[in-house]
Structure 1
Amino acid sequence: MNADLPPDPAWDVALWRGPGWIREAGLVTLPAQTWNSVRLVPLARDEPIEGLRLDRRAYDEPSIVDVGDRTHYISYIPHAFVAHWEEDAATASYGTRLLARDDKGTGPSGMPIRVRRRMARRLAGDRLRFLPLHLAVEGYLALHFGGPEIAWEEWSRRALASGLSPREERAYLGASVPDLADALRIFEMHPGQCGVLVYVADALAAAFVVPHPDDYRALHPTLVEDLFGELIYQYGLLRLPVEDLVAPIDASAVRTLADLRAQAERRMRDWADFHDGVMAEEVFAPGSRFEDVRRISGARLSRFLPPFTPGRPNHIGETIVVGEDEDARLAYLKTFRLSEKQVRRGYLLTRLAANGWRLADTAAEFGVGEPAFALRLERAGFGHLLRQDVLDRYRAAARR
């Protein structure tokens, strides 16, 4: 998977940050539902966003996405989202499924490869087609994609000529995460629901928000076609049932029905504050960097990268924000939790770039010698960036 972003793009600051961002984004947290190791937390809107709607365009063949500058993104993409901007809101369409076998068990005779132009493309009228999560993944793959900016002697010819191309990462289809498909199937929709937080073994796996309840009902099944990280897949394999989040009511403070109602509302606010805090700390963490991908009809499609802090949850994702400044509303959000290996790779690339791709300076920042840092690069999957003789010398030095 390749991408064409510059090695160090200019990023905007996060729009929402800190506790209370869910309320500031016009969303309300509702009581969670659990199924074995999966916890689903509904998100609803008091007022849906009527001027922007999302529907799905299903694909039945693998795609090569041309992102320009002779760079291509190769993947199987089951569907794209199409955003509509209209005064009279569009009706969300229910998506179709992948090509299935017929009654005789015979599948499609062939599956063509189709080239699609760019991750986000403007269609006829005020419509924008983009590839969910792949837009965010492309931003991660493009992180310092050009490789070393200065031809230090340690870097291989391949690193200097091609950078990190090709760059690839592993993810799991939602259908492969145990219990997720069942949880989504038995999930009870709430009135006004426009999104969901997905937890697996009480680890936040993904957040999904759309503009309108009709959009959510149409796109809810697509979560099994989304990408999930290695950590979430492994947590699902453990099949550890999660407990219901129950906060006992203080019986001594209840004398009337009004007291009971006040206590219940307080517990609901406490749970909402809890999920607010998780999102603020993990998804829109301080140091997250946003990049606008497209602007159209008063809305902007953006993607974001985390601060790449090892040992902590890090999410990549994409958003659509309608309006500006104080009137801005979060219309769309989809996130992907990186595995610890992916976080370490992002962290190593970030620190290398910050130190001008000098091994000695970066190793000193990590408090280790050059041989140890070079072997850390190799373990992270970046050994091909170093010259073979240099890497062999570092290996010998580490053995001594």
Structure 2
Amino acid sequence: MATKQKLLTDISLKGLEIAPSQIRGAVRIVPLLRREVRGDLRLMQRNYNEDITIVSLDGKIAEPGMKYYSYVPHGLVMSWSDDGSPLASFGGQIIKSDGKRLDCGCATVRLMHRMAKREAKNQLRFLPLHLAMEGFLSLFFSGPDIAWSEYSKYALSHGLGSRSEMSVNGRYIAGLEDALRVFEIHPRQVGVLVFVAETLASAFVVPTPEDYRALHTSLLEDFYGELIYEYSLMFDKPLPMDLSVDDSTINSLADLRSAIAKMRSDWAAFQGFMAEGLLQRQLNSQRVFTAGPFVLQRFITDLRLKEENHIGEAIIRENGELEYLKTYRLSTAQTRRVYLLSQLHFYNWNIDATAKALGNTREEFVTRLETAGFGYLLNQQVRDAARKKGKK
């Protein structure tokens, strides 16, 4: 009997190797190589051409309920075998229709059911990164559980209401398209760590080298945070970081081989250190789908206001090996918003208790909520009192 697989508590690169990076402009791409490719899990890209996609989160697109709106350029189709046997390439397989396409004249719309939808016994379609972003947007979405007098009628009836976040398409990240076009792809490469101005922008891992070659340019269709976009415009080259071999210690080919191996090992360890804001960070994870020996999960790193924070999704094998990973770095403003919501949730949405825990006065905390864009949750009397106190 199969054991129930645990949720992710941290991201490790078990089963992967970090190769020397390649640099173009401010973009540094670090290849990730897989030690053993099994082939019993495959991912295929399914392209969409609509201007906007509406995803019904409860699976009933024509009925009232929670909906997710975004530009979705493609989905991923996951196929797996239960017995560990390798799967053939998707190239000759028939692609199913996915949702319904509407032409509204000024724009085209795709209507879809669920972020992750099972299409066959061993086939699942999901929307990469949007799966993680929808989980992020829905955090503490229901609002106050207690009818505190400070909250507006809207907040008590509808919770947070409609939440939105802004991101930037990868084609607008200066230098990324050139980097993906000219960089070498290693024979065993299954993923990358993408740095912009030495800031971790994204991590991407797939099951096989064949999958990676097919999905290499899909990084341009991913979305990135405002910070990454600004860094790509502000900086035109990364920090100088060079490693070299001390030729005074080289007396033979064996010495040279050993020195180069050590240099590569040191460089891989350092590049892993550069990504420590994601790797080995504590995660809050949610199981999305169990597929035989694999589990699709989405996660958010433990929130740290003055450090980098990430959301993402992953597929993990029973032995803990990472088969799929895609991440998005939150901006400072996004981190601040979800942090305030998490603290309110922890203190049962009690304004005074939350303010005290954060070292704020009641008025200061109300002002923080206003600045973060959550002022509409509070009634006008509370907002006016805080504004009046602030002017004094």
Determine if the TM-score, normalized by the shorter chain, exceeds 0.5. Answer: yes
Q: Does 1:52 align with 2:41?
A: yes
1:180 matched to 2:170: no
The one-letter code matched in structure 2 to 1:89 is L
Give RMSD over aligned pairs: 1.9
Given the alignment, which residue of 295, 298, 302 partners 1:303? 298
Over residues 345-365 of structure 1, what are the superposed CA-to-partner deviations in whole Å (9 max), with x where a residue is unaligned?
111111111111111111111
Report the CA distance between 1:329 and its aligned residue: 1.7
State the match for 1:100 in structure 2. none
Distance in 2, matches of 1:360 and 1:108, equals 48
1:290 equivalent in alignment to 2:285: yes
Question: Does structure 2 conserve the Cα–Cα contact (< 8 Å) formed by 1:14 and 1:284?
Answer: no
CA contact (8 A) 1:150 1:357 kept: yes
How far is 1:243 from its partner?
4.4
Contact 1:120-1:130 at 8 Å conserved across structures: yes
Partner of 1:343 in structure 2? Answer: 335
User: Per-residue displacement from partner, 1:211-260 (whole Å, max 9, x unpaired)?
Assistant: 00000000011100001001000001113311453123233432222222
Task: Answer yes or no: is the 8 Å Cα contact 1:92–1:218 preserved in 2.
Answer: no
Please state how far the C-alpha of 1:108 moved relative to its aligned partner.
Answer: 11
Q: Which runs of 5+ in 1 are unaligned?
A: 1-11, 95-106
1: distance between equivalents of 2:111 and 2:9? 34
Q: C-alpha distance in 2, partners of 1:377/1:321? A: 37
Cα distance in 2 between the residues matched to 1:284 and 1:268: 19
Give 1:13 deviation, angstroms. Answer: 5.4
Deviation readout 1:318-346 (Å, 9 max, x if unpaired):
001122xxx23211000000001111111
Which residue type is aligned with residue 331 of structure 1? E
Specify which of 351, 362, 387 is matched with residue 354 of structure 2. 362
Matching residue's letter, 1:36? G
Alignment of 1:320 onto 2:315: yes
1:29-80 per-residue CA deviation (whole Å, 9 max, x = no partner) reads 1111011000000011122130000001111222210001710111121100
Q: 1:41 to 1:292 in 2, by over 3 A?
A: same
Kindly provide the amino acid, as one letter, of the partner of residue 121 in structure 2. G
- Determine the structure 2 residue equivalent to 1:66: 56
- Report the alpha carbon displacement of residue 150 of structure 1 after superposing the two structures with TM: 1.1
1:84 paired with 2:79, answer yes
Equivalent runs, 1:268-283 vs 2, <5 Å: 268-279=264-275, 281-283=276-278
| CA distances 1:149-183 after superposition (whole Å, capped 9, x unpaired) | 11111111111111112000010000011111111
Determine the C-alpha separation between the residues in 2 that align with 1:228 and 1:292: 24
CA contact (8 A) 2:38 2:86 kept: no
Structure 1: 4+ residue segments shifted above 4 A: 107-111
Partners of 2:198 and 2:239 within 8 A in 1: no
Normalising by structure 2, we get a TM-score of 0.90
Partner Cα separation in structure 2 for residue 283 and residue 52 of structure 1: 24
> What one-letter code is carried by the residue in structure 2 that aligns with 1:354?
F
Q: Distance in 2 between matches of 1:269 and 1:349?
A: 42
The separation in 1 between residues aligned to 2:336 and 2:315, in whole angstroms, is 28
TM-score scaled by length of structure 1: 0.88
Change beyond 3 A, Cα 1:51–1:278: same
2:25 matches 1:26:
no
Q: Is 1:50–1:89's contact at 8 Å kept on the other side of the alignment?
A: yes
Q: Secondary structure at the match of 1:81?
A: strand
Match of 1:14 in 2: 8
Letter in 1 for 2:277: E
Give the alignment of 1:60-209 within 5 angstroms. 60-61=49-50, 62-68=52-58, 70-86=65-81, 87-93=85-91, 111-209=107-205
User: Are the structure 2 counterparts of residues 117 and 108 from structure 1 closer, same or farther at C-alpha, using a change threshold of 3 Å?
Assistant: closer
Structure 2 unaligned residues grouped into runs of 5+: 1-5, 59-63, 93-102
Name which of structure 1's ranges 155-164 and 240-249 shifts more when overlaid on structure 2: 240-249
The count of residues paired between Structure 1 and Structure 2 equals 368
Query: Is the contact between residue 320 and residue 331 of structure 1 (CA under 8 Å) also seen in structure 2?
Result: yes
